[in-house]
Amino acid sequence: MPNLPTKQIDKTIYGPVLSWRFGKSLGIDIIFEISTCSFNCIYCQLGQIQKVTLERKVYVSTEKIIDDLKEFLNQNIEFDVITFSGSGEPTLAENLGEAAAEIKKLCPNKSLQVLTNSTMLLMPEVQENLKIMDRVICKLDAATDKTLRQINRPAEGISLENIVEGIKSFKKSFKGILDIQMMFMPLNLSQIDDLANLLKEIQPANVQLNTPLRPYPMKWQRENRGNHLPEDLVETRQLKVITKQEAEFIEKTLRDKTGLNISSVYRE
């Protein structure tokens, strides 16, 4: 296997990123130019989000994404799955579905998935863009609007009710796998029971428990989206995480209360 590329800052394709959930995940950055999201999470691997917005538009052309992907594929580097993530919230991109369809043609045997913060899922056009995906991983970190504002710092107009209803609405018509990912910190440790109730409403295929083991970068650079290689590091600060014992307690509690398949970054 050739060496992994270490510098991809002018490319919409990055990685493969070594994921505890999905193996070698080839990243698709459909936002790309600056970090742009409807959240500004206090733990975001990108650091402080440069543009917090609900604006949907074409941020980077499908043509560039496909050209970058073809160049990457010519290197014969192994990867397991393809994941839309990168420099912000993928569902802000109006051409998400178009890009996914073109990628499917080039990589028909690879699972195509997207990491979303779930803020746009009530929109029919977003649901249409996502229907081609094999897996959609929806973020859910908070059980109250107060905690949502503390942890995820959403754009104005976003509520927990809209997020949960969006996930449930999308799940009704989605034919692929819908997972929930949760980031646990001291701020939301008291909400395990309430989060369990939301999970029972949603009934995802899987629940992924995480905690911010990756330090928070003090400035944005495009390399933050990937593996955080030593030569790419900027000044960071360590965030408060839950312990392995706390993670085991959360995992067991959620499994007992919901009957769902639960995985944890510590266990994996």
In a domain, 243, yes or no: yes
In DSSP notation, 115-154 reads: EE-STTTTSHHHHHHHTT-SEEEEE---SSHHHHHHHT-P
Cβ atoms of residues 226 and 15 within 8 Å: yes
In a domain, 74, yes or no: yes
- The band of 224, judged by pLDDT with boundaries at 50, 70 and 90, is low
Mean pLDDT of 169-189: 95
Mean residue pLDDT across the chain = 90
Q: What is the pTM of this model?
A: 0.91
In a domain, 6, yes or no: no
Q: Per-residue pLDDT tens for 115-167?
A: 999 999 999 999 999 999 999 999 999 999 999 999 999 999 999 999 999 99
Q: What is the CATH number of the domain that holds 64?
A: 3.20.20.70
197 is in which domain, residue-wise?
A: 13-264
With 0-12 CB in 10 A as exposed, 13-18 as middle and 19+ as buried, what is 168? middle
In a domain, 110, yes or no: yes
In a domain, 5, yes or no: no
Among residues of the chain, what percentage have pLDDT more than 90?
75
In a domain, 108, yes or no: yes
Query: What is the reported pLDDT for 1?
Result: 37
Weakest mean pLDDT among 93-97, 120-124, 239-243, 257-261? 239-243
Q: Per-residue pLDDT tens for 200-215?
A: 999 999 999 999 877 7
Overall number of domains in the chain: 1
Q: How far apart are CA 249 and CA 251, in angstroms?
A: 5
Which is more confident, 72 or 226? 72
In a domain, 159, yes or no: yes
Q: Which helix (H) or strand (E) holds 182?
A: strand 177-183
Q: Per-residue pLDDT tens for 26-83?
A: 999 999 989 999 999 999 888 899 999 999 999 999 999 999 999 999 999 999 999 9
Rg (CA), the chain: 18
In a domain, 4, yes or no: no
